[in-house]
């Protein structure tokens, strides 16, 4: 019978994503194979990169080792680039990581990891126990005593890293950056007392990825993929109602609404009478249009409409407009569409609203996404597509961002999450700067 991991299918998939979209193959499981170092050794050496994980209560503690699992008969400590991680079952995406320069060796029936000559982590299969030193305990924020027992130990072979020498810094960098952005956004409060929540409106051509961005943001905060906003491809806009989406933070069991909302609109089309009616935009910006209002391309809303909000409060209005464009078709936008976007931009500026440019579908633009997350605070001025888009709408390059939305995936991906959170954080910062500049 095939040996199966104690992780659920979805935890295993999330772990594979968190480890950089790798594949995990179970080599050893203590409750099935003999629980001693020889049996572990027999299954795990000469396999290349591995993760060894132990289950302690609802926690899962692991060490990734880039080089071979150490051998029982080898008396030398061998350098083995590693990182350590901890997550709670059912919440793999909240993984904490710690990187230490590591050497590994089998010592007295234990798998031992050393850093600067000191033991930092060990697993004793014969006793189903493990220990870790204070530095690692602090780095992962856990309080297990040395010699604590574990329920199970499993070792997986990690496939799909290739010969990426920066693998460890990439993965741990992404999880750390993601975590700090999440903490910052969860604690976010608007800096001005006249607005209790920030509203961000997404505007852009049909099919540019507006609704997908909203789903992506909601997914990151809920810790699972959610597809509340309808997404699809058609010549006319899939989104037909004006929608104001609250963002739920779902990590703590009880849902909490964050003080920002994303507003979805019908896509723009170059032709009059198709797509979002430009005359609706000033009313949307001023907060006169209610949630779920059925937009009509040929009939703009008027103050006589029964649901028209005649006296919107400051909190109801739009504080930031994000123009959403598909990065792959910026240069294919017709002159009519460009003129429409420029006309809208004038309107947006006259309504005292901050604006940013969001370029989606960066899938084929690896240059924008790969290796960039540690440097995301730096504007990427060299990319010509960004420059073209920024010039077209007269939005500064440092307010222009690239993102890849969640589309057909089943599991969250830490690198993608990090970029989505980064863009959202920048939207809020730009809006705050704009508030400060208001008369």
Ligand X SMILES: Nc1nc2c(ncn2[C@@H]2O[C@H](COP(=O)(O)OP(=O)(O)OP(=O)(O)O)[C@@H](O)[C@H]2O)c(=O)[nH]1
Q: Which of 99, 143, 140, 136 is nearest to 121 (CA)?
A: 136
Residue 310's CB is within 10 A of a number of other CB atoms, namely 6
**Quick check: 49 binds ligand X (CB under 6 A)?**
no
The H or E element that residue 100 is part of is: strand 91-100
Using rule CB under 6 A, residue 206 touches ligand X: yes
CA distances to 98, 117, 357, 410 from 180, in Å: 14, 31, 24, 24
Stretch that binds ligand X, among 49-57, 105-113, 141-149, 402-410 (CB under 6 A): 402-410
Q: Which does 219 bind (CB under 5 to 8 A by kind): Mg ion, ligand X, none?
A: none
- State the binding partner of 297 from Mg ion, ligand X, none, CB within 5 to 8 A by kind: none
Is the Cβ–Cβ distance between 98 and 80 less than 8 Å?
no
Alpha carbons 185 and 238: distance in angstroms, whole number = 29
Question: Under rule CB under 5 A, which residues in 243-302 are in contact with Mg ion?
Answer: none
- Residue span binding Mg ion (CB under 5 A) among the ranges 10-18, 205-213, 289-297, 315-323: 205-213
| Residue 258 exposure: Cα atoms within 13 Å on the Cβ side | 27
Q: Which does 105 bind (CB under 5 to 8 A by kind): ligand X, Mg ion, none?
A: none
Q: Distance of CA 63 to CAs 10, 49, 124, 155, Å? A: 20, 11, 14, 10
Q: Give the count of beta carbons closer than 10 Å to the beta carbon of residue 436.
A: 8
In the set 404, 413, 417, 432, which binds ligand X (CB under 6 A)? 404
Check residue 382 and report its DSSP letter.
Answer: T
Q: Under the criterion CB under 6 A, does residue 10 sit at the interface with ligand X? A: no
404 binds, among Mg ion, ligand X, none (CB under 5 to 8 A by kind): ligand X
Residue numbers 229-248 binding Mg ion by CB under 5 A: 238-239
> By C-beta, is 238 or 309 nearer to Mg ion?
238
Least separation in angstroms between CB 353 and ligand X? 19
With CB under 5 A as the contact rule, which of the stretches 102-110, 157-165, 203-211, 304-312 interacts with Mg ion?
Answer: 203-211
Confirm or reject binding of residue 226 to ligand X (CB under 6 A).
no
Residue 206 interacts, among ligand X, Mg ion, none and using kind-specific CB cut-offs from 5 to 8 Å, with ligand X
Q: Does 231 bind ligand X (CB under 6 A)?
A: yes
User: With respect to Mg ion, which residue has the nearer C-beta, 190 or 297?
Assistant: 297
Q: Which residues of 115-137 are buried (b: 16+ CB within 10 A; e: fewer)?
A: beeebbbbbbbbebbbbbbeebb
Contact set for ligand X, span 149-188 (CB under 6 A): none
Nearer to ligand X, 155 or 268 (CB): 268
Among 70, 207, 223, 414, binds ligand X (CB under 6 A): 207
**Sequence-ordered list of residues with C-beta below 8 angstroms from that of 292, at least 6 positions apart, any chain:** 241, 242, 243
Does residue number 212 form part of the binding site for Mg ion (CB under 5 A)? no
CA quadruple 384, 386, 390, 393: dihedral sign: positive
Applying CB under 6 A, the site for ligand X has a residue count of 21
Kindly write down the DSSP assignment for every residue of 389-401, as one continuous string. HHHHHT--GGGEE
Is 211 a binding residue for Mg ion by CB under 5 A? The answer is yes
* Positions in 236-295 near ligand X (CB under 6 A): 237-239, 267
| Phi, psi angles (nearest 5°) of residue 363 | -50, -45
Q: Among 160-168, 184-192, 357-365, 415-423, which window interacts with ligand X (CB under 6 A)?
A: 357-365
| Neighbour-count burial for 231-257, b at 16+ CB within 10 Å, e otherwise | beeeeebbbbebbbbebebeeeeeeee
Which residue number, 175 or 212, has a Cβ lying nearer to ligand X?
Answer: 212
Q: Which of 361, 385, 419, 425 binds ligand X (CB under 6 A)?
A: 361
At 341, list the tokens: 């976007």
CB-wise, 153 or 268, nearer to ligand X? 268
**CA 49/CA 65 separation, integer angstroms:** 6
User: Using CB under 6 A, which of 232, 273, 366, 396 touches ligand X?
Assistant: 232
Q: At what angle do helices 210-222 and 167-186 cross, to 10 degrees?
A: 90
Q: Tell whether residue 426 is a contact of ligand X (CB under 6 A).
A: no
Ranges of H-type helices in 187-252: 210-222
Span of 16-24, 50-58, 231-239, 287-295 interacting with ligand X by CB under 6 A: 231-239
Q: Considering the complex, state which of residue 16 and residue 404 has its C-beta at the smaller distance from ligand X.
A: 404
> Closest approach of Cβ 326 to Mg ion, in Å?
13
| Contacts by residues 107-116 (CB-CB < 8 Å, ≥ 24 positions apart) | 109/36, 109/37, 110/37, 111/37, 111/40, 111/52, 111/69, 111/70, 113/63, 113/80, 113/82, 114/77
- Where on the chain is the footprint of ligand X (CB under 6 A)? 204, 206-212, 231-233, 237-239, 267, 360-361, 363, 404-405, 407
Q: Point out which residues bind Mg ion (CB under 5 A).
A: 210-211, 238-239
């Amino acid at each position: 019978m095939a040996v199966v991991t104690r992780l659920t299918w979805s935890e295993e998939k999330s772990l594979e994503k968190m480890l950089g979209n790798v594949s995990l193959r179970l080599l050893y499981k203590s409750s099935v194979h003999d629980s001693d170092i020889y049996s572990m050794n027999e299954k795990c050496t000469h396999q290349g990169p591995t993760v060894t994980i132990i289950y302690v209560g609802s926690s899962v503690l692991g060490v990734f080792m880039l080089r071979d699992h150490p051998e029982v008969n080898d008396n030398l400590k061998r350098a083995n680039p590693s990182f350590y991680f901890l997550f709670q079952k059912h919440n793999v995406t909240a993984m904490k990581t710690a990187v230490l320069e590591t050497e590994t060796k089998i010592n007295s029936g234990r798998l031992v990891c050393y850093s600067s000559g000191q033991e930092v982590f060990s697993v004793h299969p014969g006793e189903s126990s493990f220990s870790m030193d204070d530095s690692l305990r602090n780095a992962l924020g856990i309080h297990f005593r040395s010699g604590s027992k574990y329920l199970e130990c499993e070792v997986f072979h990690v496939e799909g890293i290739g010969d990426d020498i920066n693998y460890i810094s990439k993965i741990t960098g992404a999880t750390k950056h993601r975590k700090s952005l999440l903490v910052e956004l969860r604690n976010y409060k608007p800096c001005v007392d006249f607005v209790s929540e920030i509203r961000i409106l997404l505007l852009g051509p049909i099919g540019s990825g507006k609704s997908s961005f909203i789903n992506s943001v909601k997914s990151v905060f809920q810790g699972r993929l959610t597809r509340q906003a309808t997404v699809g491809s058609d010549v006319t806009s899939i989104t037909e109602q004006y929608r104001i989406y609250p963002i739920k933070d779902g990590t703590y069991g009880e849902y909490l609404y964050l003080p920002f909302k994303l507003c979805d609109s019908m896509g723009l089309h170059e032709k009059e009478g198709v797509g979002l009616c430009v005359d609706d935009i000033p009313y949307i910006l001023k907060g006169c249009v209610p949630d779920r209002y059925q937009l009509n391309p040929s009939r703009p809303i008027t103050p006589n409409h029964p649901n028209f909000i005649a006296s919107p409060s400051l909190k109801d209005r739009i504080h930031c407009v994000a123009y959403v464009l598909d990065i792959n078709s910026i240069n294919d936008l017709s002159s009519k569409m460009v003129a429409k976007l420029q006309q809208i931009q004038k309107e947006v500026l006259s309504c005292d609203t901050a604006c940013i440019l969001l370029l989606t579908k960066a899938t084929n633009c690896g240059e924008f996404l790969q290796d960039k997350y540690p440097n995301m605070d730096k504007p990427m001025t060299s990319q010509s597509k960004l420059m073209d888009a920024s010039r077209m709408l007269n939005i500064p390059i440092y307010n222009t961002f690239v993102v890849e939305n969640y589309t057909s995936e089943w599991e969250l991906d830490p690198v993608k999450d990090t970029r989505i959170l980064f863009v959202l954080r920048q939207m809020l910062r730009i809006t705050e700067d704009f508030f400060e500049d208001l008369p």
